[in-house]
Every structure is written in structure tokens, then in C-alpha cells.
Amino acid sequence: MKNNSLLEVPNINSKDAKLKKLIYDVEDSLFYGGNYSNEEFEHLCICSGGTTSSCAKNGFTTLDLRKNYSKIHLDRKTNLVTIGGGVIMGDLVNHLQKHNRSFPIGLSKLPGAGYVLTGGVSPLSRAYGLAIDNIESIKGFLGNGTFISLKKNQTNPEEQLIWEAIKGAAPFFSIITEIELKTIQSNPIKVIEGFVNLNELSEIIKLSEEFPENISLQWIYAQKIYIYIFAELNNLEDKITEEYLMLLDKFPALEKHFYENFNKINFFPRELNLYELKADNHSEVISLLGEDLKNDVPIFIKCLSEIIDNKPNNSCYIASQQLGGKTKKLNHGSSFFVHRKSTWKPWIYASWKKNDLQEKKVALEWIYKSWNKLKRFYPNIHLAQLHNHLNFHEEEITLAFGNRMNELKTLKNIFDPQGILPPL
């Protein structure tokens, strides 16, 4: 398949990759009898939505699930939705909206099923858990070509470990072609958003660590700081929600917006002039995890200010999402998202002009230095992107899977012995 232009994806690194081969007409038969493992490739890149820099790479083969695994079916009796491995999150919520249902997708509508399988952090996660907490069943293939079909609470002891690892570590040993998910009632949303200064951000972070489960804070620090406080209104008379939101009235630049449902919200306005709009930039992102900042908020703010002062160009930024609530309570031990005590998922985003190797080097150094500065607050990793092409890949994986790392290595050795899927 010489026609690389068929791989139109949001991630610009991947879009510009010179692929060895693109398999986009994927049939189940591709996996049978080790058909694909007989191919000569270093390993497969998998594209479900195409937002990651590892869904296509120079000289590698990409398996693009978007063409043949894009079905969405909502069962109106159970309110469970079945999606293909190539379904885009925006298409999922649009489909569900017709039936007044929703799903806790992230801040972007562009990711595919990889968003779900690597954890899935949403502004709704505090109330409904991570995306992986809402998986009811999966179908797909292990790295050795074996078909798997697993259902929640119906696994034997051997399957149980596979089931747990699929929730958080699926890309290393499996290709998931179908996922069944719980959906949620679609409720109105109030968003309080706008630009704030560092002192105001500090105050809002302190407030947010007391928020009830239906309210969450998201912020981004690019040239300036922009915040979103997101409140799901389960009941329009909810006094507690209103009391918390009233505490934000003292920040003059914040505006209140009311949306009839989550699907209508577009995060990160164009005024922020972010990376998505720059087709001549390449980028990388690393996601961290940590607990409540509590009394460390002032030191964190000082550290954040230093990091932003040192960023190599205006396309780099730091952002953060709030977890907690249900993400701390649900499914202890039953997934490979091991850092359940986390309250914050910040991410460090670095970008550079795509053919400027010196600027790339400087930007990646900035990511690494910034990560080292933030480790005292956020010691762990949320592996939403795979970085096996970068030199901190092993450290990242160890910090992502913690005490389950050895189990993951065992699964990899058994079910992907030829290393067809991304390496550990």
C-alpha cells in the first residue's frame, strides 16, 4: 500500500510519517493463523483515532482501524453502547446524543478507542470514573493472533489478568476491535471559564480540591492561563453545586456558560492560539499523575511559573485535568491504571517547527527538565501516548504501571512473543 495520503490523521507527526505500509482494509482474517505475524515489520503501529505521534512512524507499518471498525450501536434496553476499535470519540457522543445519553470523553473529540483503553480522563470522571471503569466487554486479538472475547465479571482466572491489563495497557499486547461501554444520562452543564493570573489559579486550585464529584477544574498555561470549571447539573436545584460556583464570582474575568449537554462544549478557544492550528509544527506530550497539592499549591505555582518562563517557544504549554471522586473509589486492583489516588493529571506539551532538528532537541529537553521539576508534585505517569521512539520511554512505562509492571512483561512475553506490538 504505497498511498500514504490515505492516513489523514490529526497528529501532524504521524501525518508526515513516511510509512513502510498502510493496512486500512482490516478484516478479522488478517489475524488468523498468524497471517500478520508472517509479515516483515519491526512492529505494528495502530491507528484508532490518529491523535498520537505513535500511530504512524517512518519505516513502520500502520494498521488503521477507522475504515472497518467504525460501527456504533446503542442497545436501548440496557443503554450499553458497542463501538468498533476505530470509532472517534466525537462520533460516539454525537450518536449517543440522539438518545439523550453521553459518555465521559476527554477535552478533545478527536481521539479514537485508544482514549478509552489507556485510561480515559474526562471532566466527567470525578462523577463516573475513568473511561476504562465503564468497559463492559471487549473483543479483539492478542499479539500472537489469538481471538479474545471478554465480558466483565465473566472471566476465568487466566482471562482475568488479560481483562485487567486491557484496561490501561491494551496497546502493548492486543489489538482491540470492539468495546462495549456503559453510557450515562445526558445532563445540562455549566462551565465557568476565562483567563486568570497565577495568584487566581493558585486560589482556584485550592478551592477545587474541595469540589463535590460533579464539579471539576481544567486549566492550561500557554501564553496566558485559561481555566474551565465544569459542573454537571444533575438537578437544577442543587444547592451545593451553586454554593461552590458562587465562590468563583470574585474572579472578574470568568464567564458562565450554560450548555444543554456535555457534547456541545468545545474546550480551548481559538484565542489561545494552540498547537492544533499549526500544521507546520511537530509535537510530543507527556502526562503526569499526582495527589492533592494541599499546602504545596504556592510552591507548585512558583515551579510552574519557572517552567513557563523557560519554555523554548510559544507553542509549548502546561495543562491539567482534575480526577478524584469516583476515580479514587472504583475498581481498586482491577485495572492497569494503578495510580488511583491521583487528583491531578497535568501534561507537558512541547512543539517545534517540523524540520528544525535543533529546535526539536531544545523542546524535548524542555519537556524532560519540566517533568523533573514537576515530579515532586506528580511522581507518576498516565500513559496516554506511547514514546518508544524517545529516550525516556522505559522510565515512563515503569512510572505508569508501577507494581503491575512485571505482570505486563509476562503478558507481553506470552501473547506478543514476536514483539509485533509496541515494545515495553
Flag whether pLDDT at 100 surpasses 60: yes
Rounded CA separation 106/122 (Å): 4
Rounded CA separation 412/416 (Å): 5
Predicted local distance difference test score (pLDDT) of residue 27: 78
Q: Helix H segments across 110-238? A: 114-117, 125-128, 157-169, 198-208
Predicted local distance difference test score (pLDDT) of residue 409: 96
Rounded CA separation 234/75 (Å): 23
Question: What three-state secondary structure class fits 137?
Answer: strand
Rounded CA separation 419/125 (Å): 33
Residue 106 grid coordinates:
476527554
Predicted local distance difference test score (pLDDT) of residue 234: 84
Predicted local distance difference test score (pLDDT) of residue 276: 52
Predicted local distance difference test score (pLDDT) of residue 189: 94
Flag whether pLDDT at 245 surpasses 90: yes
Minimum mean pLDDT among 143-147, 163-167, 330-334: which range?
330-334
DSSP-derived letter for residue 290 is B
Which of 180-184, 257-261, 271-275 is predicted most confidently?
180-184
Flag whether pLDDT at 313 surpasses 80: yes
Over residues 314-343, the pLDDT tens digits come to 889 999 999 999 999 876 669 999 999 999
Flag whether pLDDT at 272 surpasses 70: no
Flag whether pLDDT at 104 surpasses 90: yes
Bigger pLDDT: 376 or 262?
376
Flag whether pLDDT at 35 surpasses 60: yes
Bigger pLDDT: 145 or 412?
412
DSSP string across 68-122: TS--EEEETTTTEEEEETT--HHHHHHHHHTTTEE----S-S---THHHHT----
Which class is domain 189-403?
alpha beta
Rounded CA separation 407/336 (Å): 10
Minimum mean pLDDT among 83-87, 289-293, 328-332, 347-351: which range?
328-332
Bigger pLDDT: 268 or 22?
22
* Sheet with strand 61-64: strands edge to edge: 21-23, 61-64, 44-47
Predicted local distance difference test score (pLDDT) of residue 390: 85
- Average pLDDT (189-205) is 96
In the chain, what is the straight-line distance between the N-terminal and C-terminal CA atoms, in Å?
A: 28
Flag whether pLDDT at 2 surpasses 60: no
